[in-house]
Amino acid sequence: MRVFVTGATGALGRYLVPGLIAAGHEVTATTRTPGKVAQLRAAGAKPVVLDGLDREAVIAAVLAAAPEVIVHEMTALAGMRSLRNPDKLFAVTNELRTRGTDNLLAAAARAGTRRVIAQGYAGAGPDKRSGGRLKTEEDPPDWRSIRSFVQAPAAIRHVEEAVPAEAPEGIVLRYGAFYGPGASDVLLEMLRKRQVPVVGGGTGVWSFVEVTDAATATLAAVDRGAPGVYNVVDDDPAPVAEWLPYLAQVAGAKPPLRVPAWLGRLLAGEFVVAQMTTSRGYSNEKARKELGWEPRYASWREGFVPGSAGEADATESEYRPLLFSIADEMTGSVGDAEDIVQDAFLGLRVHPATPRATRAPTRSSAWSWPGSCSSSGWLMSFPGYGDPTRSCSVHLPWQRAGVYGNRSISIRWHFQVSPRHGTGRIGRHGGRRDGHLARPCQGIGSRRPG
């Protein structure tokens, strides 16, 4: 089928697009960032640079693609660190959930697209009643009023009401709290710094979904399921007091601090206190039954364990700071550097259809960005899992005039996954624009992973 995916380079979209391509669909994928076009093209999609809030541009793009299915994954949630003022933090996302949704629905009507799938929310919220049964799709958000959390609930309700009402086959997927590659980096970083305490006893119940599981549920909804709302969460909702210390242990962090609710309000605001004390979990029974979806990680206990991320996480912990520092210097933008790092490490992940727990240890994950050193790009080489003689490479064709001119940087690291030891070397090379590397300069760094 012809599928039009918005927000295709986000935490979920970057897994959904390859899954759709692998399933044989013809995918048009949008991004707000011109620099990510090559990433989408490399995945096999037809890329479109699109601002979801530009109504005429959205309609024109959808009419050109003539999709049978539209998938709405547009958000602006990168880099969230403080939820003291959620309406301010989610301001652009709220617009994408209201105006952006309306634009896509109008485009779908013009193009004759029957099925529209949109991102909903089954994350932690300020529920009026804690405990009790799990929420089903029949339960609207039963959230108490918080002064800093007014626009976000209205935007979430708008998606849930407008999509099933206006699209002949409108589906809203309420995703639980994302975790996994590219979706929980900020939380883990803050946890390791002991910046995420258990507040007020940690009685709030959270529902999670591993990000690649969320992608497979979305893929299932492309051609299955009646119109309506579906909770896409795992089987094991749990209170903060249970999952947060476990995650800290898995991450190698000290146990989280415990603070009373009044102190939590001073430190983090009312919304965070509500998430940690009164949130209720969600049931996934409908999604399992009607979408035929079954999460690979039935519980966050499986998804959080060190083995679930395999050797890739150990490798990332070594490579990520190095690549980020180089990308930041190269682009002059923290945001661009974060995008480069995250997209690069996606290549070290096995296709979502392959459970991490059962993947072959000798599999070599190889990929490349469009372009190469011949266009003054950057090259980073990684090993194949369990086999130090096999490597994969990332080509980063990013260049700012006047920063590095026609030079290119080559970064090579030899890393034996098991046992975990090896040596690395960074080398800077002068090179002509046609890519013939010459005059290798002295290496600027070396280290031995622990």
pLDDT value for 104: 98
Query: For residue 111, which amino acid is it?
Result: A
| Per-residue pLDDT tens over the stretch 200-230 | 999 999 999 999 999 999 999 999 999 999 9
pLDDT value for 89: 82
pLDDT value for 81: 61
How does the average pLDDT of the chain come out, rounded?
74
**Within 13 Å and on the Cβ side, how many CA atoms surround 137?**
24
DSSP 8-state symbol, 329: H
Helix locations, 211-284, DSSP H:
211-221, 240-250, 261-268, 270-277
Average pLDDT over residues 313-324: 49
| 76-90, 175-189, 342-356, 368-382, range with the lowest pLDDT | 368-382
| Per-residue pLDDT tens over the stretch 113-134 | 999 999 999 999 888 876 678 9
CA–CA gap between residue 92 and residue 77 (Å, rounded): 9
Task: Give the confidence band of 327 by pLDDT, cuts at 50, 70, 90.
Answer: low
Of 97, 242, 123, 118, residue with least CA distance to 179: 123
pLDDT value for 328: 56
| 18-27, 37-46, 101-110, 433-442, range with the lowest pLDDT | 433-442
| Per-residue pLDDT tens over the stretch 420-441 | 333 333 233 332 222 222 222 2
CA–CA gap between residue 180 and residue 210 (Å, rounded): 6
List, as one string, the DSSP characters of 346-400.
HTTSPPTTS-GGG--TT-------SS-GGGT-EEEEEEETTEEEEEEEEEE----
pLDDT value for 181: 80
Q: Does domain 2-177+210-232+283-295 have CATH number 3.40.50.720?
A: yes
pLDDT score of 283 more than 80 = yes
Tokens of 335: 């945001």
Beta-strand ranges (E) seen in 149-192 are 169-175, 177-179
CB contact set of 402 (below 8 Å; sequence gap of 6+): none
What stretch of H or E contains 121?
strand 115-121
Question: How many Cβ atoms from other residues are within 10 Å of residue 434's Cβ?
Answer: 9
CATH code 3.40.50.720 region(s) in the chain? 2-177+210-232+283-295
Of 3, 2, 8, 100, residue with least CA distance to 59: 100
pLDDT value for 48: 96
Average pLDDT over residues 10-31: 93
| Per-residue pLDDT tens over the stretch 222-278 | 999 999 999 999 999 999 999 999 999 988 889 999 999 999 999 889 999 999 999
pLDDT value for 320: 53
pLDDT score of 85 more than 70 = yes
Task: Give the confidence band of 312 by pLDDT, cuts at 50, 70, 90.
Answer: very low
**Spatial contact of 51 and 32, defined as CB atoms under 8 Å apart:** yes
- Ramachandran angles phi, psi of 448, nearest 5°: -125, 115
CA–CA gap between residue 399 and residue 320 (Å, rounded): 20
Question: Strand, coil or helix: what is 427?
Answer: strand
Query: For residue 190, which amino acid is it?
Result: M
